[in-house]
Structure 1
């Protein structure tokens, strides 16, 4: 029977990965609790998914390599690691399949928006310094608004939404969807879905993912308001399609998440009282910083985490 002391260095990578995961989750909770800047809260929610999945994958990989060397056989943990990656790929495949299916189903139903709606969308897009694809209209009575696609994203609105909102409110909804495009939220969702799949067995990953969805909606609201300067109009639009006793009530994909509507409206009212519309920070600088941080975390994060997990047993001079 192996000496228990020889198992210590085998377990260190996994223990290190769990400690890093807990630290990442704790940091995310702290950012959400103290109400840090919105970009930081989105980043911390993303890190709450990314860092645990990365740390556990590297920890299980290191542990399986050490155990396979010790027992001269395929380590069961290698199968666990493969299963983690397979589930992550499956989650991504499901996300892409849903996007493709939605695009295919809507191709025969959607029609280009009227010149008046398209003109309003182009006007709002100028504030984002971007050129958008033609806005698509879905012949549905439910108020819907969402962004479709990852590369060449398109804004889709339902006829019910166009009939419910006045022109000013409609501009704010379009600005919210353009903010999602500017921030590349669909791409962030795709990457986050993979990391969620890798650690789908961790409740903390689902918690962090739900907070990421909530924070990106709040961030898109803030970015839209920084361009249009009309937070009250956006709040009014949200209430028109989300208040249960309103005749037009119906959860709207991409526009409404019932569990966050109260928080979004309160945040918009706060922005109104702060008169943030007068400051008007440039949307490219605000959204650009967050994208750089997310890209840096994704590309550079594996190096320090991997170094710590693989080097810690040697740094501790374990037997």
Structure 2
């Protein structure tokens, strides 16, 4: 199954979960539809302001072409090659080596890199990282993640409302089996989080592949990921964990979490996919 089909299937599963829990809640309290709408509107507002929120969370500062000419020219060159509008360029004041893209569409996009990544990556590896972030913009992954976050947020809200109705409803018989409801309250938001993270992992593979094709140098990105992985635990980046899926690599080692609760695929799997793509580009197969 292609990454696009996987993403569509995961979004469909997330939507189905939302419909299921909505049925449990709304059946006995139609007024909660208003709460669902408010939750969606709140998340939609967050999407429209996603660039400002994410950049603010990392204390990023926009740079001019004069402030960092090498970085600016690199982003400009790769943007032209990818037929994208020139995004705004930011630097994050952190020695953690990382990067991310944000913005609701290519016309309102930004690319941010940390001071740490500028210090440790040679030019061709940094080019691979920038190409990865530009591919996220081209693929509108920020939109995909916003939709996933909106649905997951609505599920969490409904789960909370369902818990309130369980404890404060005058008649529990109208609500069904209390143990089943409690299981739904706990498991539905957990399942939504797992699906949301799975969508994030799928989009990372697509962005890696797009970057490799854009630069024609998959090995450079593979080497960059290996270097970033080895330094991730040394200097953690300080920000809200909710923004972890934006980063090119987990800012902290996620091995203890397991694959289900990781916002990124295993680095060794990403490297293996890139090296396989390198062979395909060389041989033409």
Tell me if TM exceeds 0.5.
yes
- Give the match's secondary structure for 2:29: helix
What RMSD in Å do the two structures reach over aligned CA positions?
3.1
Please say if residues 141 and 158 of structure 1, whose CA atoms lie closer than 8 Å, have aligned partners that are also in contact: yes
2:178 aligns with none
TM-score (structure 2 length as normaliser):
0.68
1:223 positional shift: 1.4
CA distance in 1, matches of 2:127, 2:234: 18
After superposition, the Cα gap between the structure-2 partners of 1:171 and 1:277, relative to the gap in structure 1 and judged at 3 Å, is farther
Point out the more displaced range, 149-158 or 252-261. 252-261
User: Is residue 83 of structure 2 the alignment partner of residue 77 of structure 1?
Assistant: no
Flag the 1:219–1:277 CA change in 2: closer, same or farther, 3 A: farther
Pairing 1:267–2:219 present: no
Q: Mean alpha-carbon deviation: is it higher for 246-255 or for 180-189? A: 246-255
Distance 1:175 1:277 in 2: 20
Q: Indicate whether 1:111 and 2:104 are aligned.
A: no
Q: Where in structure 2 are there 5+ consecutive unaligned residues? A: 160-187, 238-243, 255-264
CA 240–107 in structure 1, closer or farther in 2 if over 3 Å, else same: closer
Equivalenced residue count is 230
Residue among 127, 142, 150 paired with 2:81: 127
Q: Which residue of 1 aligns with 2:248?
A: 255
- For 1:299, the equivalent position in structure 2 comes to none
Q: 8 Å contact 1:118–1:134 — kept in the other structure?
A: no
Q: Normalising by structure 1, report the TM-score.
A: 0.62
**For the structure 1 residues 278 and 98, does the alpha-carbon distance in structure 2 shift closer, same or farther, using more than 3 Å as the test?**
same
Structure-2 separation of matches of 1:126 and 1:99:
21
1:91 positional shift: 4.4
Deviations 1:107-134 (A, max 9, x none): 8844235222222222222331123134
Q: Which has the larger radius of gyration?
A: 1
Instruction: Return closer, same or farther for 1:158/1:112 CA change in 2, 3 Å cut-off.
Output: farther
Q: Sort the Cα spacing of 1:107 and 1:56 in 2 relative to 1 into closer, same or farther, 3 A.
A: closer
Residues 78-129 of structure 1, C-alpha deviations (whole Å, 9 max, x = no match): 1444444444444455566664344457788442352222222222223311
Partner of 1:154: 110
Asked if 1 retains the 8 angstrom alpha-carbon contact of 2:125 and 2:221, the reply is: yes
Measure, in 1, the Cα distance between the counterparts of 2:233 and 2:153: 39
Q: Name the counterpart of 2:18.
A: 53
Q: Which residue does 1:292 correspond to in 2? A: none
